[in-house]
Structures are given as structure tokens and as C-alpha cells.
Amino acid sequence: MDEPTPKPPAPATSPGIYLIAAHPNWRESRVNRRLLESARALAEVDTNDLYTRYPDYYIDVAAEQARLAAAQLIVLLHPIHWYSMPALQKLWLDDVLSYGWAYGVGGEALRGKDLWLVATTGGPASSYHPQGYNRYFFDAFLPPYEQTAVLCGMRFLPPLILHGAHSATEGEVADHLALFRQRLQSYPRWPEMDEIDACPACDVPLADRPESD
């Protein structure tokens, strides 16, 4: 997918939203592609299609950090691959969320922001069950996302997950798209927001980060 024509800046009163989308093959995407297109239509959302922007996997760290700094809500949009994120999304985290910037001593650039996971699975919800072939409830695969947010001083918002993306009906996909768009447009005025605890302190001692590994 080509990057969209730059959109006019969002009104100053709207909180910035930076959506990072990762899908290795958009032509085969049934849901994520439509979610990204929906987000691109909103002026308040800054979108980044990682596999189109960085086909050589060489990430512009300074540019990414600037976009993160300008946002209050960071959205990770991708299909679940092997119980985790696509490879380029993981590399983006490795490179961009650096020690001394995103976490650790002096790493306060993301403190107080929100992280929201929007993902799809190929298997239905019933497959994420002790009696299903994925053996665990889907929540068991979320701690790496949540702890990434916590380490960076961010709140991890309740994820938006569509299970069985390959087999979902068009009505189910349409409802999911509508909810996604409504959430983006209404952020941060979500009904449950007041019930989400502030991010706990998660400091990394200097002794745990020597200059070289």
C-alpha cells in the first residue's frame, strides 16, 4: 500500500493519535487493511504503514520518535503472527523504544501516554481456550504488550481484538470497523477510562544496564 497524501493537521484541541500498522502482505488482508483505511480518513490520526515505509527494514528512529512525542495515544495495528506481532513491528519496538529515551534513566518521552493494541487473529475465539488448539485464553499472550507499555510509563488500554478474521461475516467486520472508528474519534472520552489505573512506576536500575551487553 502506498503512503497517503498528507492530511491537514488535527485541531489543536484534539489529542494526537499515532497509529503504527504492520502487515507483511496487505493484498491478503481482509480486516487490517480496512482498519488502516478507516484510520487514514480521520484528520486526528497520524498513520504509518511500516512495511510500505520501511521495505528494507531500515527504520528512521529520529522520525519515529518525533511522531511518538507528538501523540497522546499510540495504536499498534496488526494481525497476530505466532502469538505475537509481525517481524517489522518487533524491530520497530527494538529500535525506536530505546533506553534513555523511552525507558530507563532519562527515558521519559512516553510517560503519561496511552498504548492501544488493535489486532486480529486467524483462529476463532474458541481456539484460545484450554480445550482449544491454542491451549490458552488470548489474554495469556498480552503480557509482553502490557509490560512494554508499563516499562515506558504508558497506560495499556483494553485491546480491541477481532478473532476469526478469515471467517467473520461481513456484518461482524462492519461492526468491528465502526467500533474502531468510534473509539478513535471519541478518545480519550471512553466510558471505562476513569476505571483504568495509572501506570505503575517501573524504574530500571543503572546496575541493570551496563554500557555494553
Superfamily of 17-193 according to CATH: Flavodoxin domain (3.40.50.360)
Determine the residue type at 37. Answer: E
**Domain edges within the chain:** 17-193
What number is the average pLDDT over the span 194-212?
76
Judge whether 75 and 116 are in contact, CB under 8 Å.
Answer: yes
pLDDT of 164 above 70 = yes
pTM above 0.75, yes or no: yes
Q: β-strands 17-21, 73-79: how paired?
A: parallel
**Could you report the per-residue pLDDT of 117-138, keeping only the tens digit for each?**
999 999 999 999 999 999 999 9
Closest CA to 113 of 69, 83, 56: 69
Q: Using CA atoms, how far apart are residues 181 and 162, in angstroms rounded to an integer?
A: 14
Q: How many other C-beta atoms can be found within 10 angstroms of the C-beta atom of residue 9?
A: 11
Closest CA to 29 of 51, 7, 53: 51
Q: How far is CA 144 from the centre of its chain?
A: 12
